[in-house]
Amino acid sequence: MEHISEHAALDPTEYIACKMCDLQFLCEYLGSHMKTHRDKTFNIDKLIVVEYQIVDNNMKIDTYSAADRLKSKLVSTTTHSDTEDEKNDNIDSTTDENNFNQSAPSISDQSADRPQMECGN
């Protein structure tokens, strides 16, 4: 819990959504993630997301299927805007009430059958 409690929210400019699957990645990791799409080794149906959050000095762990969460639109995605006015209107593209965008996603291959994405605030 100490490790998680020392995490800081990321600036929205530090991560970006994959255009193929809509998952958020730190900018420097998007290229390696895109390679998994090109190599056809990425399977969102097998991706399990584990979010760690501190709520009232207690650890809250939320585990869910990335595919199910994206289908239900509870995971936020970046917004494409064509004009400056649209960009200003869409500054906050967060759709999750827990502000999922401020988590730092990282892929952890703990199982060949069930890869996991871990997020922590």
Q: Which residue has the higher pLDDT, 51 or 77?
A: 51
Give yes or no for residue 65 having a pLDDT over 80.
yes
pLDDT at 104: 44
CB contact at 8 A, 94 and 101? yes
pLDDT average, residue stretch 108-112:
40
Ranges of each domain in the chain: 2-78+97-120
**Residue type at position 90:** N
Q: How far apart are CA 44 and CA 107, in angstroms?
A: 12
pLDDT at 60: 85
Which residue bears the tokens 């390696």? Answer: 32
Which residue bears the tokens 């998994």? Answer: 36
pLDDT at 2: 62
Beta-bridge mates of residue 65: 48
pLDDT in tens, 45-58: 999 988 877 788 78
Q: How far apart are CA 7 and CA 17, in angstroms?
A: 21
CB contact at 8 A, 50 and 118? yes
Give yes or no for residue 63 having a pLDDT over 90.
yes
Q: How far is CA 23 from CA 17, 46, 84, in A?
A: 5, 14, 24
Q: If you average pLDDT over every residue of the chain, what do you get?
A: 70
CB contact at 8 A, 93 and 79? yes
